[in-house]
Amino acid sequence: MKNVFACIDGSRAAEAVCDAAAWASQRVDRQLVLLHVLDKSVYPTKTDMSGNLKLGTREHLLDELAELDAKRSKLALEAGKEQLKAAVERVKAQGIENPETRQRHGHFVETLAELQEETRILVLGRQGEDHDNPEEIGGNLESVIRSLSCRILITPPGFSQPEKVLLAYDGSTTAKKVLYIMARSPLCKGLPFHLLLVGEETEKNQQLLQEAKQEMEQEGHKDVVTAIRSGEVESALLGYREENDLGLIIMGAYGHSRIRQFLVGSTTTNLLRKSPVPILLMRQ
């Protein structure tokens, strides 16, 4: 049984993550797991430049480092427990009966990769506790998106349940898969869908959208709206979202090759930075 995982830390985003995860786990009717990762690589290292080796330096150094880590781990562990406790209360208030909590040692991204097998949806805040500038996206987020192939729901600070949903559709294989899954997923069942294609107003594009709409309707979705906008993908998406007051953006992630993405920057990354509403990334 795959679960909904919510990544909890001490940041402001944690509350939004709780809300989003509670919503998602209720929609898809799966166990909600609140996850806190103790990442040792964020601890600062201690420096002693004396450069000499005394009797038993190796043993002493090991004891010293272990003790230092032990203290930090204990503090981080306690803090994490508190954060998880607060998170449990928050999701319980929203009707989740028995949320599971989990604490893991390890590198953040690697830990998530290990849990991937049992993950149905991963819920993340846009930035973790190390960031203050709301314009930035967290340093780990991009690598999480890159290394995981599960569905990832990224929420900005302050989550409100979506009433209407925007699905970015371009007729590509990725987009078709996204459409196929979303048409059958209980996550957004019953919510009005807006299928937006960013490109020229051509017959071919119209037809693509019509086919997509039919597929959605066959699976019992009502109120499926289609639209075509020209211009830059990111501004067109965000502009259309604002006009129609849509509460969630669904899209396939990181289509470009890594090198190209490194040079020109990616639509996904920009969207993540600018979107005022949660984004559901699908890497199927």
Residues that bind another protein (CB under 8 A): 40-41, 44-59, 61-62, 65-66, 69, 107, 109, 142-143, 146-147, 258, 262
7 by Cβ neighbours in 10 Å (0-12 / 13-18 / 19+) ranks as buried
Six token digits for residue 191: 């919510």
**Alpha carbons 154 and 277: distance in angstroms, whole number:** 9
| Nearest residue (CB) to another protein, 82 versus 262 | 262
Q: Are 143 and 109 in contact (CB under 8 A)?
A: yes
User: Dihedral, CA atoms, 185, 244, 153, 255, nearest 10 degrees?
Assistant: 90
The minimum distance between CB 69 and another protein, in angstroms, equals 6
| Nearest residue (CB) to another protein, 70 versus 93 | 70
| Nearest residue (CB) to another protein, 56 versus 239 | 56
The minimum distance between CB 202 and another protein, in angstroms, equals 37
Helix (H, G, I), strand (E, B) or coil at 282: strand
**Within a 10 A sphere around the Cβ of 101, how many other Cβ atoms?**
18
The minimum distance between CB 140 and another protein, in angstroms, equals 8
| Nearest residue (CB) to another protein, 129 versus 142 | 142
Q: Of 220, 233, 266, whose CA–CA distance to 166 is shortest?
A: 233
**Alpha carbons 9 and 129: distance in angstroms, whole number:** 7
User: Dihedral, CA atoms, 227, 237, 205, 228, nearest 10 degrees?
Assistant: 30
The minimum distance between CB 212 and another protein, in angstroms, equals 34
| Nearest residue (CB) to another protein, 58 versus 117 | 58
The minimum distance between CB 121 and another protein, in angstroms, equals 22
